Amino acid sequence: MAPLIALSLSIIAGLATGLGGLIAVFGGGMSKRFLAAALGFAAGVMVCISLVELIPDAAIDLRAAGVTPWMALVAALIGAVVVLLFSAAARFRNRAELPASTDALQKRALLRTGVLTAIVITVHNFPEGFATFLTALHDPYLALPVVAAIALHNVPEGIAVAVPIHHATGSRKRALWASVGSGLAEPAGAVIGWLLLAPLLTPVVLAAVLAGVAGVMITISVAELLPAAIAQKEKRTVIAGIASGVVVMWVSLQLLT
């Protein structure tokens, strides 16, 4: 019974990304102002979680394992390089194809951004789901506030995934499925981690992976999300979105601690 309760709590926390997806696709239509605000918000969320939680925690875990904490920055840089290479390859492919309109190119860039965001948030949610599961397995009552806090900070992550996909494809269904799918990495992480990966995920390996995810998130925010937001020509709205994303994620992280 205890594993089922723990798994149920992981599912609840993960599905909060779907709530973020609902907010994204029904909250502001397809207006340029909403897109600018939402993309800025997503960038603020991902930069905040990377700089405030992922990289510092990775450095602490590496130091505790006897590894120089600077390896966290190395892993983050590797993650950044992977994203830049992926983006460069995608742009090279686009230039090799037949000429497209500016609008089509913007939609293609937004779709690439949405896919990248979904991938990194999925990777980020995997160990988070495992951690939630272990906490709930140990003490379900202790896990309740943890699950609530994780669910809260999964909502803006769902927005970050759904907004670019919705605006690139015009499909609410695809955007919602992408946001829900990235959240389902939490219960998947719980099950796979419990059954298979617990002996392999040493503190050093997990710290390096999460630092790499942080590098990916920061690079996507700076190289993909912010340019797409600025392209909407709503400067003040973008700034407000970034600030809101940082504040919301910082508050949710404080609740987690």
Neighbours of 92 (CB within 10 A): 9
Rounded percentage of the chain residues whose pLDDT exceeds 70: 81
Closest CA relative to residue 41, chosen from 163, 184, 175, 124:
163
Confidence (pLDDT) at 163: 84
Query: What would the mean pLDDT of 132-152 be, rounded to a whole number?
Result: 67
Write phi, then psi, for 153 (nearest 5 degrees).
Answer: -85, -5
Average pLDDT over residues 223-248: 87
- CA neighbours closer than 13 Å in the CB half-sphere of residue 188: 12
Give dist(CA 77, CA 208) in Å, integer: 11
**pLDDT reported for residue 99:** 46
pLDDT over 90 (residue 76): yes
Mean pLDDT for all residues in the chain: 80
Quote the tokens at residue 83: 């994203």
pTM above 0.85, yes or no: no
Confidence of residue 45 (pLDDT cuts 50, 70, 90): confident
Work out the percent of the chain whose per-residue pLDDT is above 90.
14
- Minimum mean pLDDT range among 44-58, 92-106, 203-217, 237-251: 92-106
What tens digit of pLDDT does each residue of 88-131 get? 765 655 454 444 455 666 777 778 777 888 887 887 777 777 76
Mean pLDDT over residues 188-207, rounded? Answer: 79
On whether the CB atoms of residues 175 and 166 are closer than 8 A, the answer is: yes
Residue 180 has pLDDT above 70, yes or no: yes
- H or E, element range at 79: helix 70-96
